[in-house]
A and B are shown apart, each in its own frame.
Chain A
């Protein structure tokens, strides 16, 4: 296994003490595989991704185990993580303007990891940067390399950031909402680019998104998070066609459906999402879930397996059905 995460927990400091935002999270990712992480705000999906890169906020406590290529990452020093970041593990963010330095030319930024991790000379790295910008299908790569980030369009900046991420041929790329800020037509092209890069190498992708449909189109497996916990996981087709967790089902039914009559009632989830579940026992979705019974409030639900790696964390998983 390329990546094995076991019982990962992240506690972040708040004015009222440490708060648990990722709770007992376990998953794995194989070479060349793509895993989608879906959830609403406060689900812990971004914090899970940041924990893998050891980029959690100042003062956060990470526990459990993250094994990457057989090595334990939890507890490593910042120096050791810097060796991995941008080399074996790379990250693509939602807004390239925050990840790219506005005062440096794009080519120099794409070249930097190559000099840092691969020992290329400045000249070699610059030449390689232009090749990479061409590889991510940026029109006029030489011009793009000489440009500052502001001179590029949103889609072009995202391509430049992808070029920066793949420079050292990372084995794992973590993409956190990589296309959320883009127009749909540009989003489709960027996702197709990521698919293409994945299929030509053995790069594994962890794709964090709030959009089930994006994950449906671009991932092999999916994990559905709610209030810091994985509620359901498995092959994309199984989880989205036949969800076995009431939360996944509710997410699917809340979407406006193409072809449905105008103004048709959408299913809603009562109550507000609990931002962080904390250490409490019981199911985080209890109370908002139509299937809630007494045990849901007191006992953390077990993982129920439905074959082919399809797992639902629900006391009543067997009763969940997809009603069209």
Chain B
């Protein structure tokens, strides 16, 4: 195996043109992707987190060559997808598949599982009838379903089983890369656990690498070695997942970590965590507990208080979105630590410390 990345994304820019002149024209002029670069290596699943409007779903579509960027490059196994002639792009699609959030909406209720799971083979025009049937069987068994399930219809399965059918369909072309957009967020906790276990197994045993898009930090940390945090079309922080969530360097990553509901949150002291009470689980809480101890100059914990000192929210209003800025840091209107420089100059994504962590912030957190 070579050291070349499985997937290489470089300098992707994508702006959706607004369909005409109207109240949304200006809003839509903001690029969905404003220069995104990263690499995914075989066997090391990669996570993308961020809120709605961060560009993560646009990124997924372009990574799968379902949409073209305005500029930038996507390389799968060293081959640039947008420079390939259509005839050569088609066989490349066998190496990349996608699973979606909604296991109900993505399966045609009128078709038998056999046909649903074999669909990517049919679309790519590969494998004869006999081989297709054998591969459907193998694919169903790989996700813990029975070969005999092939003759059933989707409605005969539970939600978790339907998500398995969707995964079996994605696996049938024996892809190296599977893009999973919120694959478990519509599932109940107990079913979610089964799907996450299956994804771990597939990475270990079937050589599948996931590009996992999720808003749920715990889910991403469970599957992905490296994670990128996106905000308004840019990567604001990227690094080893567990370390990054334990010690975020970008204020937005910190905001995401702090906002994630946790069982150990002490609700009697708003915004503060009592370390003595944090017995149920440990992990993300540690960074916050330590910074809490080091006093009010430390980041994050006093977010709600400090937010109110900011310009547009001086009257106590907390924006749910945040205003657009043409120059400067895209996060500046929401950042509790913004200084004058942040409004004037957009920070570049730069290496922080000696490791793999990169952060786009003039004043990264410790």
Contact = CB atoms under 8 A, between A and B. Distances in A.
Interface of A: 40-41, 137-139, 151, 153-156, 159, 183-189, 191-192, 195, 210-214, 216-218, 240-241, 250-252, 254-260, 262-269, 272-273
A191 B284 CA distance: 20
B197 A185 contact: no
B318 A137 contact: yes
B188 A259 contact: no
B270 to A, nearest CB: 7
Interface of B: 23, 51-52, 158-161, 188-190, 192-194, 196-197, 200, 203-204, 215, 217-219, 221-225, 241-242, 245-246, 255-256, 258-265, 267, 270, 279-286, 304, 312-313, 316-321
Nearest to B241: A262
Contacts of B256: 184-185
B189 A156 contact: no
Given A40-B190, A259-B283, 18 more contacts: A137-B316, A139-B313, A184-B215, A186-B320, A187-B261, A188-B259, A189-B320, A191-B261, A217-B265, A251-B189, A251-B190, A256-B218, A259-B286, A262-B221, A266-B196, A266-B222, A268-B197, A272-B158
Contact of B255 (A151, A154, A185): A185
Given A40-B190, A185-B256, A218-B267, A258 B285 contact: yes
Contacts of B223: 262-263
B46 to A, nearest CB: 12
Given A155-B320, A183-B51, A255-B218, A262 B225 contact: yes
A153 to B, nearest CB: 5
A252 B262 CA distance: 11
A3 B103 CA distance: 38
A179 to B, nearest CB: 9
Which of A211, A252, A258, A273 has the most chain B CB atoms closer than 10 A to its own CB?
Answer: A258
B284 A259 contact: yes
Name the prevailing secondary structure of the B interface residues: helix
A139 B284 contact: no
A156 B265 contact: no
B280 to A, nearest CB: 6
A263 B220 CA distance: 10
Q: Which 5 A-B pairs have the closest CB atoms?
A: A259-B283, A155-B320, A258-B283, A213-B261, A183-B51
Contacts of A139: 312-313, 317, 319
B158 A184 contact: no
B288 to A, nearest CB: 11
Contacts of A156: 320
A266 B246 CA distance: 21
A183 B317 contact: no
A217 B189 contact: no
Nearest to A240: B263
Nearest to A220: B267
B284 A40 contact: no
Contacts of B217: 258
Contact of B190 (A155, A254, A256, A258): A254
B261 A214 contact: yes
B158 A183 contact: no
A154 B53 CA distance: 12
Contact of B261 (A186, A217, A269): A217
A189 B321 CA distance: 12
B267 A217 contact: yes
Contacts of B280: 240-241
B267 A255 contact: no
Contacts of A273: 158, 188, 190
A258 B281 contact: yes
Given A40-B190, A137-B317, A262-B222, A216 B242 contact: no
Contacts of A266: 193, 196-197, 222
Contacts of A259: 242, 246, 281-284, 286
B358 to A, nearest CB: 20
A213 B189 CA distance: 12
A294 B255 CA distance: 50
B281 A241 contact: no
Given A40-B190, A192-B270, A251-B189, A213 B196 contact: no
A40 B218 contact: no
Nearest to B203: A263
Nearest to A269: B190
A185 B197 CA distance: 27
A212 B189 CA distance: 10
A156 B189 CA distance: 28
A257 B218 contact: yes
Contact of B188 (A40, A213, A240): A40
A210 B312 CA distance: 34
Contacts of A218: 267
B75 to A, nearest CB: 26
B283 A256 contact: no
B13 to A, nearest CB: 24
Contacts of A263: 200, 203-204, 222-223
A256 B221 contact: yes
A260 B197 CA distance: 14
Contact of A41 (B159, B200, B246): B159
Contacts of B204: 263
A185 B280 CA distance: 23
14 contacts: A41-B159, A153-B320, A184-B256, A185-B255, A188-B258, A189-B318, A216-B262, A216-B264, A258-B283, A262-B225, A262-B242, A263-B204, A266-B193, A273-B158
